[in-house]
């Protein structure tokens, strides 16, 4: 069975082009959604399509990028389908995992994705080494400066201002505040119990 999946990123976009192409390709069942393919986003129609597929079915998309935002994510999805004996077809790129040519093209794309991931990792590591050599450490800057920490200590010692208010004055969340002042969490919990 050919099962189509169509997705547009925003409510303003229209699914008609994809729907028409998938229907013309012979898809008997269509799953559609208006949802970003951004990594981490839940895509209920996509999940439903994957759950619906059975061995020897074919998941058909109008374009490869309908599977997700990154090439690595797309290749993982296609590999997961392969392991379940489900085929994949992309109409625009003419990838078809059922043919030798399609499998080869998908493997080339997968190898490219892995290459670019590795190159990106290498560049990141080189950049971190160069920054370290100049005396800079990588990572996010600290949320609270030494002056902020002194103010926080003084306000905590005063004991008449809540942790939530101190965190608000310092411009951080309570969670961040507690990461700098773990004793404040213990004191806060003890006050609630007593």
Catalogue the active-site residues.
Answer: 9
Tokens of 192: 């609630």
- Taking the alpha carbons at both ends of the chain, their separation in whole angstroms is 65
Task: Estimate to the nearest angstrom the gap between the alpha carbon of 9 and the chain centroid.
Answer: 15
138-177 burial code (b ≥16 CB/10 A, e <16): eeeeeebeeebeeebeebbeeeeeebeebbeebebebeeb
CB 177 within 8 A of CB 170: yes
d(CA 140, CA 134): 17
d(CA 32, CA 188): 49
CB 37 within 8 A of CB 65: yes
Secondary structure of 80-107 as H, E, C letters? HHHHCCCEEEECCCCEECCCHHHHHHHH
């Amino acid at each position: 069975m050919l099962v189509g999946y169509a997705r547009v990123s925003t409510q303003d976009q229209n699914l008609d082009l994809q729907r028409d192409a998938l229907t013309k390709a012979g898809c008997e069942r269509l799953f559609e959604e208006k949802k970003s393919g951004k990594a981490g986003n839940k895509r209920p129609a996509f999940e439903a399509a994957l759950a619906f597929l059975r061995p020897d079915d074919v998941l058909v998309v109008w374009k490869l990028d309908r599977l997700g935002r990154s090439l690595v994510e797309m290749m993982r999805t296609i590999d997961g389908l392969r392991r379940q004996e489900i085929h994949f077809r992309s109409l625009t790129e003419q990838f078809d995992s059922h043919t030798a040519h399609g499998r080869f093209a998908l493997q080339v794309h997968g190898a490219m994705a892995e290459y670019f991931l590795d190159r990106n990792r290498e560049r990141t590591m080189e950049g971190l080494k160069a920054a370290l050599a100049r005396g800079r450490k990588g990572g996010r800057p600290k949320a609270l400066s030494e002056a902020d920490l002194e103010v926080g200590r003084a306000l905590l010692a005063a004991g008449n201002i809540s942790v939530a208010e101190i965190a608000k004055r310092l411009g951080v969340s309570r969670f961040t505040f507690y990461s700098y002042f773990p004793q404040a969490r213990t004191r806060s919990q003890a006050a609630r119990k007593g």
